[in-house]
Amino acid sequence: MAEVPAPVEAARRNGARTARMAAEVRAGLMAPRPWLPSKYFYDDRGSRLFEAITALPEYYQTRTEERLLETIAAEVVERVRPSEIVELGSGAGRKIGLLLDSMTRAKRQARCRLFDINALFVAESVRRLAARYPAVDVRGVVGDFTEDLSALGPGGGRLAVFFAGTIGNLHPEEVPAFLSRVSAQLAPGDGFLVGVDLVKDPARLEAAYNDTAGVTAEFNRNILRHLNTELGSDFDPDAFAHLAFYDRRREWIEMRLAATRVSHVRVPAAGLVIDFAPGDEIRTEISCKYTAESFAALPAGTGLAIERWYTDPEQLFALGLLRRVANGEAV
């Protein structure tokens, strides 16, 4: 993993991150139904492939969310009145600019923190935003938003944002615990703006994850290349085919890699030797889709309450504004 440049700090040292990766990969691949944590898509190449995905004609999520955010950014800033914006899973950090623009127009002094697992993308985004907003204190944190949020420190005047429907990559049973961890980094009155991909026509969903250019397929296989680089494994990504389908019962997209031939794979850092037969599969991602009603049940008991629910005209995507609860009531 790349070293972290200033003004970017790391939530954990490289050695600790690699050890955690090895342990998680071992647990996933040894499961009765093998799986890999989707966060390991995002090495440098994987992050760039995902940016390419967001521009594909089939991938409605990014452009829909950006258009929606353009219409509500000023209202969100007026409601929360933040002095600091923190973006979790920031990637290229494009959307946060819409909120910073609104803060600038409202003449609000701003700090900006970008939090992502990929050090290169955090550093590039920090440099780009610092150049665009010279009056804003822009810094980055390299970490895993499922475990390292304490690196952000206590809240107070904070608006945390979590775009791209990334919350859907968490199993619904994991979401309340995640929201509780977010809540712990917010003070009463602070806000959490979260992007939520909505339940819709399965054909449209499946097209978004099976683009005709094959970029998503390459993104999916790249997780194996990342394991090869970081853990010394010897996966042949070309020995696995991309699969993505909508599970109507669970209301999520599931991505898998299916072995197309016999493979004997070693993962030295995880202490694993695995044999794959044709048809053997590894689940690499779920992407849960929600309705307003199904999402509304998730924040209960987390210290957060939904204040506003915004959707685009086609009801493809939503942005939910949650507020940190004080004394049992939403502020």
Mean pLDDT value of segment 170-194:
97
**5-19, 34-48, 136-150, 288-302: least confidently modelled range:** 5-19
Q: Which helix (H) or strand (E) holds 5?
A: none
Contact 119, 7 (CB under 8 A): no
Q: How would residue 11 be classed by pLDDT, with cut points 50, 70 and 90?
A: confident
Mean pLDDT value of segment 107-135:
91
Q: What pLDDT score does 315 carry?
A: 97
pLDDT digits (tens, 9 = 90+) for 198-233: 999 999 999 999 999 999 999 999 999 999 999 999
Q: What pLDDT score does 331 carry?
A: 40
Closest-CA residue to 44 (of 92, 94, 115, 87): 92
- Residue 240 CA to residue 282 CA, distance in Å, equals 9
- Residue 306 CA to residue 319 CA, distance in Å, equals 11
% of the chain surpassing 90 pLDDT = 87
Q: Which helix (H) or strand (E) holds 235?
A: none
Q: Is the pTM of this model over 0.85?
A: yes
Q: What is the CATH code for 60-200+295-326?
A: 3.40.50.150
Q: How is the chain split into domains, by residue range? A: 28-57+202-288, 60-200+295-326
